[in-house]
Structure 1
């Protein structure tokens, strides 16, 4: 059994992870939080104490760390005795943090695919560009590495696996739909790191259609979805991590990701992009200063964590799965609804951070218990979905299923 957690990152998702680890520290042990900005880590520690979140007596400590420095990360893992590392820092860190886990034998969990800061929208499948190249290293070292254990990717991968195993004999399509029907009250902001957020949308939109990769422009393909709780919402075909693993692992002929955007977001995004302000390539100012436009935009936008106190409304995220069961066509929508205000009251973060962070803690608990401690690399859809979803039902993200007129909560007992 593995114990003691090192959380990499100190944003809104890290805050959720810290609180949920504290609520389950009888299973997970000591908690350590590390990022380049020590004050942010200390603020998270203070918030855990303020809400009296620790279930049992135990340590929760903050550390300064540049996680791009593999030697420093390795040393911190060894010094803290962490056996599970939850990486919720920038997606640029994945390979460095994984290297430190390989050096120490600690289990690795992340919530997003690795990105090279110098490249946008690489050739699919994206996991094959970095993470999957290191499968052999993980297996040889006996290191567990759980990839994409957030909500999307993460819970939606488990939903697809559950549908594949229990609801269908064959699946024709998986449409992952992500709707944030909440409001933060700001003129313009992103719900997580603006740099990562915008990078998702400035390149090609890759989807898996008819057994091959298809490319579109962002906001080129949209449609209205009628969903539980949030009602009718416009969403657009968008490139996303889970498309790149589900298409290859479950062998479904059509895997698409749809994200909801309002007209105001699209207008502001379009202006920024057309002005070149979303470029990741450096430019020189008239004064001879070299700056990256995207980083400048990130610097002037609100910190996503600052949105939480005023956020209202709900999210609805799930998988619309179509296929055949017992010779008959079938369609199910497996989903979760989360509330921004409830998330803030519980852990001090908004609902987007909550949905991303809670599944990573569930994955850590399954690694700690041994159920998901594989000694190799795996995406979530390669793992048994029932223990994961059952645990999530208990710790804050219950799963529901809608089929025809019937809409009910799923039990995994």
Structure 2
């Protein structure tokens, strides 16, 4: 058993992670939240108390931390006796936090791939540029590191693995589709850190086509999908983290990622990009000040966490998988629908943060009780997905499958997990 959680980050996803850890502290133990801005950690703790999220009385503590400082992070891990770190801070922190975990023998989880602030859209596979270089170090230290265990990446990786094992003899293509059919009521805002959000879309959109990497221009390829709840949804081919591990681990010749964008978003994005306001390189103002345009845009846009109270509508994210079963063509959509308003009422965050945060806690619980505590570095599709999906069903993210046979809930382990009526996990099998 591993116990005691250190959450690194103070944004919307960290809030979800903290609430879900609190709801399951009988399994996870003490909960510590660390960020450069201590007030954000205290606000999350206040929210947990206000909503009565603690499953049982326990430690819930805030800490100030610059997670780029490896020694400071190691000190905090040891001081809090944390055996699992959930890193939901900026992707710029990943390698520093991972290093601290390896050097303290602590399990590591994150929800997005590492990024170098000086580089945008590096050559694929992205995991090969940073994280995978530390695989042997994790193995030597017997440290479990589960990479990209949010929703996308994360749950969509598990969906692909589960669908391939359950519904197919062979798979020809996986199209990951992410649609936000919600509204926050602002003129323009991003649903998570604007700096990270825009960096995803200013360069090459990599896809995996015919067992090779293909470079595409952003917004070059458009496709409309008939999605559950969201209906007919316009999406664009986009580069994304999960393609860079799934292409290596699943043996599928075609893997693509499609994200929904409104015309308004594309128009604003295009203007900002064409004006040079999305550049991460500093410029000198007429007053002689050095500024980074992208940081200025981030400063004037709404804080993504501030969108949650007014957010309405739903998200729909899933994998459309095509292949063959028993010699016949087979098509399956395995997906989740999440409601913005319901997410806010439960944990004070909107659905996009909710879908990223819940899987990380489910993974932490699987590490805590030993199922996923494997002592090496993996991506989610390398792990058995059944208990992961079953846990999320009881934690607020229900998985469904739509196929020629109809649309129904997927529950791979109905008899293994016992849960109370409010969805807080009581025990395993």
Normalising by structure 1, report the TM-score: 0.99
Match of 2:339?
A: 339
Provide the C-alpha distance between the structure 2 equivalents of 1:82 and 1:152, rounded to a whole number of angstroms: 26
The unaligned stretches of length 5 or more in structure 2 are: 415-429
Match of 1:382?
A: 382
The unaligned stretches of length 5 or more in structure 1 are: none
Match of 2:184?
A: 184
Provide the C-alpha distance between the structure 1 equivalents of 2:274 and 2:151, rounded to a whole number of angstroms: 31
Provide the C-alpha distance between the structure 2 equivalents of 1:348 and 1:50, rounded to a whole number of angstroms: 10
Cα displacement string for residues 91-118 of structure 1 (whole angstroms, at most 9, x for unaligned residues): 0000000011011111000000000000
What does 1:49-64 align with in structure 2 at a 5 Å threshold? Answer: 49-64=49-64
Provide the C-alpha distance between the structure 2 equivalents of 1:164 and 1:226, rounded to a whole number of angstroms: 22
Count of matched residue pairs: 413
What does 1:2-401 align with in structure 2 at a 5 Å threshold? Answer: 2-401=2-401
Q: Which moved more, 1:345-354 or 1:214-223?
A: 214-223
- What SS does the aligned partner of 1:58 have? coil
- What SS does the aligned partner of 1:181 have? strand
Provide the C-alpha distance between the structure 2 equivalents of 1:252 and 1:286, rounded to a whole number of angstroms: 53
Q: CA deviation at 1:404?
A: 2.4
- What SS does the aligned partner of 1:113 have? coil
Q: CA deviation at 1:251?
A: 1.3
Provide the C-alpha distance between the structure 2 equivalents of 1:222 and 1:254, rounded to a whole number of angstroms: 17
Provide the C-alpha distance between the structure 2 equivalents of 1:160 and 1:292, rounded to a whole number of angstroms: 39
Cα displacement string for residues 188-216 of structure 1 (whole angstroms, at most 9, x for unaligned residues): 00000000000000010000001100111
Provide the C-alpha distance between the structure 1 equivalents of 2:33 and 2:151, rounded to a whole number of angstroms: 21
Cα displacement string for residues 248-293 of structure 1 (whole angstroms, at most 9, x for unaligned residues): 1101100000000000000000000000000011111111111111
Provide the C-alpha distance between the structure 1 equivalents of 2:292 and 2:207, rounded to a whole number of angstroms: 29
- What SS does the aligned partner of 2:146 have? strand
Match of 2:424?
A: none
Provide the C-alpha distance between the structure 2 equivalents of 1:255 and 1:43, rounded to a whole number of angstroms: 40
Cα displacement string for residues 124-150 of structure 1 (whole angstroms, at most 9, x for unaligned residues): 000000000100000000000000000
Cα displacement string for residues 301-324 of structure 1 (whole angstroms, at most 9, x for unaligned residues): 000000000000000000000001
Provide the C-alpha distance between the structure 2 equivalents of 1:391 and 1:108, rounded to a whole number of angstroms: 19
Q: CA deviation at 1:405?
A: 5.8
The Cα RMSD (Å) is 0.6
Provide the C-alpha distance between the structure 2 equivalents of 1:387 and 1:133, rounded to a whole number of angstroms: 29
Q: CA deviation at 1:399?
A: 0.2
Provide the C-alpha distance between the structure 2 equivalents of 1:143 and 1:290, rounded to a whole number of angstroms: 41
Match of 2:422?
A: none
Provide the C-alpha distance between the structure 1 equivalents of 2:396 and 2:62, rounded to a whole number of angstroms: 25
Q: CA deviation at 1:166?
A: 1.4
- What SS does the aligned partner of 1:81 have? coil
Match of 2:427?
A: none
Provide the C-alpha distance between the structure 2 equivalents of 1:411 and 1:101, rounded to a whole number of angstroms: 33
Cα displacement string for residues 136-170 of structure 1 (whole angstroms, at most 9, x for unaligned residues): 00000000000000000000000000111111111
- What SS does the aligned partner of 1:241 have? coil
- What SS does the aligned partner of 1:232 have? strand
User: Which consecutive segments of 4 or more residues in structure 1 shift more than 4 A?
Assistant: none
Normalising by structure 2, report the TM-score: 0.96
